[in-house]
């Protein structure tokens, strides 16, 4: 089979690899119909997340079950399925609490040996462990490029809002309008937010957030803090989502939240820097951080997409072939694409 591997920072290529085979009862083999390129793949592309040369990358996928082990009960050969970006065991302490994203034996697709040594989805075939928990049926009539959002990007945007405990009638601000931020905008509106401020410096992203029903605010050409204060009677918003994942945006999120409000940090905080914890304490804020628990949300997210309350379709800006993957990563790296889907 053909698979996309990372060779060195800035270099991905398509390689011929042996077809994977099922070796455990809870595994399924999937013929990939479409896979996505994600922001976290860019960290691998640049070498910020080290992955062994020759390792297959990618963790967003839709495909058809080609074979299934004896213990796989929830999907069958021939089913069209989508995957979550990681696996979970269902029996460890974290899983029993429903914290699948903290599973003690969880594996993340396409992130090298440090994150579970599980080969990735930008390939023709994919071996899926823990298939009962990792895979879901694609609802009738849903396109592959829409369904693949449920197990990662939309699941993460949804988590940012759900984890914040947002309630109908709340006001929300979302910092950073990449795919996850735009999905968080949709999730806030679907959850009954009365006003969503969408903050970024890229015009097209602001325009898309406005189309979804948010109030766009340009990060540098407008004064987001002043605008948010003015629109909320000087109070600030109930919930702020930081979809960037840096100390700077987190500091801004703290300043935009109302007293006793919630800041939900969904971006991956890699860098170091100053965060005004004193202000967060003084305001009595709740901080909710961490990787998204997509397995816990995936069924709800699929139902919301099916009902038309969430719609990731406008986020797909490019459709490319697996063989064009080098070009695809360069395009994505130049921020000229929101979501690129690859077909074998
Ligand atoms: Zn992803
Ligand atoms: Zn577990």
Give the span between the Cα atoms of 232 and 171, in whole angstroms: 8
Q: How much distance in Å is there from the Cα of 38 to the middle of ligand 1? A: 4
pLDDT digits (tens, 9 = 90+) for 210-225: 999 999 999 999 999 9
C-alpha dihedral sign at 134, 139, 144, 148 = negative
pLDDT of res. 271: 74
Q: Which residues in 163-200 are b (16+ Cβ under 10 Å) and which e?
A: bbebeeebbbbbbbbbbbbbbbbbbbbbbebebbbbbb
Ligand number with the minimum distance to the CA of 122? 1
Ligand number with the minimum distance to the CA of 43? 1
Q: How much distance in Å is there from the Cα of 252 to the middle of ligand 2? A: 35
Please name which of 272, 344, 270 lies closest in space to residue 39, comparing C-alpha atoms.
Answer: 270
For 133, phi and psi rounded to 5 degrees?
A: -95, -30
Q: How much distance in Å is there from the Cα of 41 to the middle of ligand 1? A: 7
CA distances 216 to 65, 99, 128, 253, 317, Å, are 42, 33, 40, 16, 20
Ligand number with the minimum distance to the CA of 109? 1
Ligand number with the minimum distance to the CA of 155? 1
Q: How much distance in Å is there from the Cα of 70 to the middle of ligand 1? A: 29
Q: How much distance in Å is there from the Cα of 68 to the middle of ligand 2? A: 21
Give the span between the Cα atoms of 49 and 51, in whole angstroms: 6
The answer to whether 329 and 45 have CB atoms below 8 angstroms apart is: yes
The DSSP line for 15-33 is EE-PPP---STT-EEEEEE
Please name which of 159, 132, 126 lies closest in space to residue 296, comparing C-alpha atoms.
Answer: 159
pLDDT digits (tens, 9 = 90+) for 152-199: 999 999 999 999 999 999 999 999 999 999 999 999 999 999 999 999
Q: How much distance in Å is there from the Cα of 22 to the middle of ligand 2? A: 21
Q: How much distance in Å is there from the Cα of 101 to the middle of ligand 2? A: 8
Give the span between the Cα atoms of 29 and 195, in whole angstroms: 44
Give the span between the Cα atoms of 263 and 281, in whole angstroms: 12
Q: How much distance in Å is there from the Cα of 87 to the middle of ligand 2? A: 8
Q: How much distance in Å is there from the Cα of 37 to the middle of ligand 1? A: 7
Q: How much distance in Å is there from the Cα of 147 to the middle of ligand 1? A: 13
Ligand number with the minimum distance to the CA of 102? 2
Give the span between the Cα atoms of 65 and 229, in whole angstroms: 51
pLDDT of res. 267: 85
Residue 115 per-residue DSSP state: G
Q: How much distance in Å is there from the Cα of 107 to the middle of ligand 2? A: 10
Q: How much distance in Å is there from the Cα of 33 to the middle of ligand 2? A: 28
Percent of the chain as helix, strand, coil, to the nearest 5: 30, 25, 40
Rounded to 10°, the helix 153-162/294-306 angle is: 100
Q: pTM score, two decimals?
A: 0.95
Ligand number with the minimum distance to the CA of 49? 1
pLDDT of res. 98: 97
Query: H or E element: which one contains 41?
Result: helix 39-45
The upper half-sphere exposure of residue 188, i.e. CA atoms within 13 Å in the direction of its Cβ, equals: 32
Q: How much distance in Å is there from the Cα of 88 to the middle of ligand 2? A: 5
Q: How much distance in Å is there from the Cα of 341 to the middle of ligand 2? A: 30
Q: How much distance in Å is there from the Cα of 58 to the middle of ligand 1? A: 8
CA distances 233 to 213, 219, 253, Å, are 21, 21, 18
pLDDT-flagged residues of the chain (< 70) = none
3-state secondary structure of 247: helix
> 113: which residues sit within 8 A by CB, 6+ positions away?
52, 55
Residue 139 per-residue DSSP state: P
Q: How much distance in Å is there from the Cα of 156 to the middle of ligand 2? A: 19
Neighbours of 20 (CB within 10 A): 18
pLDDT digits (tens, 9 = 90+) for 68-89: 999 999 999 999 999 999 999 9
Q: How much distance in Å is there from the Cα of 296 to the middle of ligand 2? A: 12
For 205, phi and psi rounded to 5 degrees?
A: -70, -40
Q: How much distance in Å is there from the Cα of 211 to the middle of ligand 2? A: 39
């Amino acid at each position: 089979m053909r698979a996309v591997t990372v060779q060195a920072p800035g270099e991905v290529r398509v390689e011929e690899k042996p077809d994977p085979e099922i070796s455990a009862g809870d595994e399924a083999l999937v013929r990939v119909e479409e896979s996505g390129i994600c922001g976290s793949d860019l960290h691998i592309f640049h070498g910020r997340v080290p992955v062994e040369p020759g390792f297959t990358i990618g963790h967003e996928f839709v495909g058809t079950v080609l074979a299934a082990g004896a213990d796989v009960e929830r999907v069958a050969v021939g089913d069209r399925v989508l995957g979550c970006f990681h696996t979970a065991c269902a029996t460890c302490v974290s899983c029993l609490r429903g914290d699948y994203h903290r599973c003690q034996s969880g594996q993340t697709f396409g992130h090298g040996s440090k994150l579970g040594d599980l080969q990735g989805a930008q390939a023709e075939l994919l071996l899926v462990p823990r298939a009962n928990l990792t895979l879901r049926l694609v609802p009738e009539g849903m396109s592959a490029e829409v369904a693949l959002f449920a197990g990662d990007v939309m699941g993460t945007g949804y988590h940012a809002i759900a984890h914040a405990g947002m309630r109908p009638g709340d006001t929300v601000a979302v910092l950073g309008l990449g795919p996850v931020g735009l999905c968080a905008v949709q999730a806030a509106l679907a959850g009954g937010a009365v006003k969503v401020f969408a903050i970024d410096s890229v015009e097209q992203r602001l325009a898309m957030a406005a189309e979804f029903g948010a109030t766009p605010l340009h990060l540098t050409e407008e004064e987001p803090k002043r605008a948010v204060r003015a629109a909320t009677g000087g109070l600030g918003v109930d919930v702020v989502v930081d979809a960037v994942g840096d100390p700077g945006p987190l500091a801004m999120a703290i300043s935009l939240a109302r007293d006793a409000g919630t800041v939900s940090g969904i971006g991956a905080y890699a860098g170091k820097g100053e965060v005004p914890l004193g202000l967060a304490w003084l305001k009595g804020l709740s901080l909710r951080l961490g990787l998204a628990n997509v397995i816990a949300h995936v069924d709800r997210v699929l139902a919301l997409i099916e009902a038309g309350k969430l719609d990731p379709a406008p986020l797909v800006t490019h459709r490319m072939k697996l063989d064009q993957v080098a070009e695809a990563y360069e395009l994505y790296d130049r921020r000229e694409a929101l979501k690129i889907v690859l077909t074998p």
